[in-house]
């Protein structure tokens, strides 16, 4: 008797699928450094809710999570959205971009191509219905807060994902490094000018530093977060630097150095063992600044990809 190969099928996730999807997504994302496990409650908050949280600002319009099944088992998953990421806030709302927030491919190599083809067929239908002509995959502002401390870029060693996305016509847009600095004792910190002051916003767990000249002129900003793993007994808390910038005409005056040292010292006094940064390769000056302060590059590359859809 000739065995019958179980058929593959795809459909949007239902409420009853969430637990299986949370497990599948969690298995995949936990392979990347500084990611946390995703239980059902977090999955529904970060993935399927109408306005899911992100570390960076995003304006959502539509969401769709598609699963791929084989013999009743969930073997693939794609999280799709339409809206405006942190790089496209100036675009009018009626010109949304397409977004791939996450993608899970089967562990079985003989299923990868077929599953990915079905998932991207459904993705194309979703983007067409949303009026999308341009798509970004794994943009740093749309990632899950528990995935790479919220950076959400595509790990370069996820070979099947890279191959599938490039086969589907996606191009590499940006490359990211993951940098780490061990924390033990505070470092020397001095204010570049007596006329500069820093104001704090938020909480100790999510703090924004705003620098002003004579308390009125905005000069620069930094933001750091504390990540405390909730479901991993072996995971240590750590700090992340999610943003640092200095107004253009205030650069080269050691203000970025002061801001960075303030963030490092705050994390140190909070007892964090290390501070982590995901930074684009485009920011050469920032990379030099981080290197000067003892940040080391991990054996890691992350990528954001994009694609212009054909008519």
Residues 6+ apart with CB under 8 A from 258: 189, 190, 191, 192, 196, 211
The answer to whether the beta carbons of residues 307 and 170 sit under 8 Å apart is: yes
* Single pTM value for the model: 0.92
Which pLDDT belongs to residue 93? 74
Over the stretch 158-171, which tens digit does the pLDDT of each residue have? 999 999 999 999 99
The answer to whether the beta carbons of residues 145 and 35 sit under 8 Å apart is: no
Over the stretch 270-293, which tens digit does the pLDDT of each residue have? 999 999 999 999 888 899 999 999
Confidence of residue 231 (pLDDT cuts 50, 70, 90): low
Residue 46 and residue 307: Cα distance in Å, rounded?
24
Q: Could you tell me the CA-to-CA distances from 80 to 83, 122, 198 in Å, in that order?
A: 10, 10, 39
Largest CA distance in the chain: 86
Q: Which of 52, 42, 108 is nearest to 76 (CA)?
A: 108
Cβ atoms within 10 Å of 201's Cβ, excluding its own:
11
Q: Could you give all domains of the chain from N- to C-terminal order, each with its CATH number?
A: 8-177+302-308 (3.40.630.30), 184-272 (3.40.630.30)
Per-residue pLDDT for 4 more than 70?
A: no
Over the stretch 202-212, which tens digit does the pLDDT of each residue have? 999 999 999 99
Which pLDDT belongs to residue 1? 47
- List strand residue ranges (DSSP E) for 145-295, in order: 154-155, 171-182, 196-203, 206-213, 217-227, 238-246, 274-280
**Residue 235 carries which DSSP code?**
P
Mean pLDDT of 71-77: 95
């Amino acid at each position: 008797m000739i065995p019958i190969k179980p058929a593959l099928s795809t459909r949007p996730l239902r409420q009853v699928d969430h637990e299986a999807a949370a497990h599948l997504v969690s298995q995949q994302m936990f392979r990347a450094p500084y990611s946390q496990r995703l239980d059902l409650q977090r999955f529904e908050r970060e993935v399927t809710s109408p306005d899911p949280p992100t570390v960076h600002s995003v304006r959502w319009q539509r969401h769709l999570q598609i699963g791929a099944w084989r013999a009743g088992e969930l073997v693939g998953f794609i999280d799709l959205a339409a809206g405006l990421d942190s790089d496209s806030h100036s675009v009018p709302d009626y010109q949304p971009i397409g977004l791939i927030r996450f993608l899970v491919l089967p562990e079985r190599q003989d299923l990868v191509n077929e599953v990915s083809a079905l998932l991207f067929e459904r993705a194309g239908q979703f983007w067409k219905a949303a009026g999308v002509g341009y798509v970004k995959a794994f943009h740093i502002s749309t990632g899950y807060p528990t995935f790479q401390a919220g950076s959400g870029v595509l790990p370069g060693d996820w070979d099947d994902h890279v191959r599938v996305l490039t086969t589907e016509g996606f191009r590499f847009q940006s490359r990211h490094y993951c940098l780490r600095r061990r924390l033990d004792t505070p470092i020397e910190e001095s204010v570049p000018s007596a006329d500069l002051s820093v104001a704090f916003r938020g909480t100790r767990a999510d703090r924004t530093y705003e620098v002003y000249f004579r308390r009125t002129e905005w000069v620069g900003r930094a933001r750091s977060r504390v990540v405390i793993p909730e479901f991993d007994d072996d995971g240590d808390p750590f700090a992340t630097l999610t943003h640092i910038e200095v107004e253009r005409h205030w650069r080269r005056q050691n203000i970025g150095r002061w801001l960075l040292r303030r963030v490092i010292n705050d994390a140190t006094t909070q007892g964090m063992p290390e501070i982590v940064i995901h930074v684009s390769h485009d920011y050469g000056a920032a990379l030099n600044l981080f290197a000067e302060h003892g940040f080391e590059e991990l054996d890691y590359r992350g990528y954001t990809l994009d694609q212009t859809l054909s008519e």
